[in-house]
């Protein structure tokens, strides 16, 4: 039982993915739960090539207050809202009819 230590793990390594660690700070990350402090599985589940995330940062950070990115944002404190509720661009996370405008 338990989680195998990363240094002793065998088998293939997951492919690195690009993430946004801070506004305008793109980095590569190996998507392994042993390497991530707060994984936010609900965001990882919907992250794909069609997804756009809107990040609402508190004013105290000195960062932009609103940021849109196609990369999975892994920074806080911030409210992160995906444009789509499901992978593949299915089920917009918007009020009905808003995409028509």
Domain positions in the chain: 13-90
Least confident segment among 42-46, 65-69, 73-77: 73-77
Q: Which residue has the higher pLDDT, 38 or 52?
A: 52
Q: Which residue has the tokens 């065998």?
A: 10
Q: Is the predicted pLDDT of residue 62 greater than 60, yes or no?
A: yes
pLDDT at 50: 92
pLDDT at 84: 92
pLDDT at 64: 63
Arithmetic mean of pLDDT, 47-64: 81
- Go through 34-44 and write b for each residue having 16 or more CB atoms within 10 A of its CB, e for each that does not: eeeeeeeeebe
| Alpha helix positions (H), 1-80 | 41-46
């Amino acid at each position: 039982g338990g989680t195998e230590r990363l240094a002793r793990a065998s088998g293939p390594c997951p492919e690195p993915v690009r993430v946004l660690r801070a506004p305008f700070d793109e980095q590569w990350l190996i998507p392994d739960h042993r390497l991530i402090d707060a994984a936010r599985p609900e965001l990882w589940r919907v992250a794909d090539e069609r997804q756009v995330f809107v990040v609402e940062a508190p004013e105290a950070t000195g960062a932009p207050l609103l940021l849109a990115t196609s990369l999975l944002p892994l920074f806080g404190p911030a409210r992160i809202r995906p444009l789509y509720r499901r992978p593949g661009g299915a089920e917009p996370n918007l009020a009905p009819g808003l995409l028509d405008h």
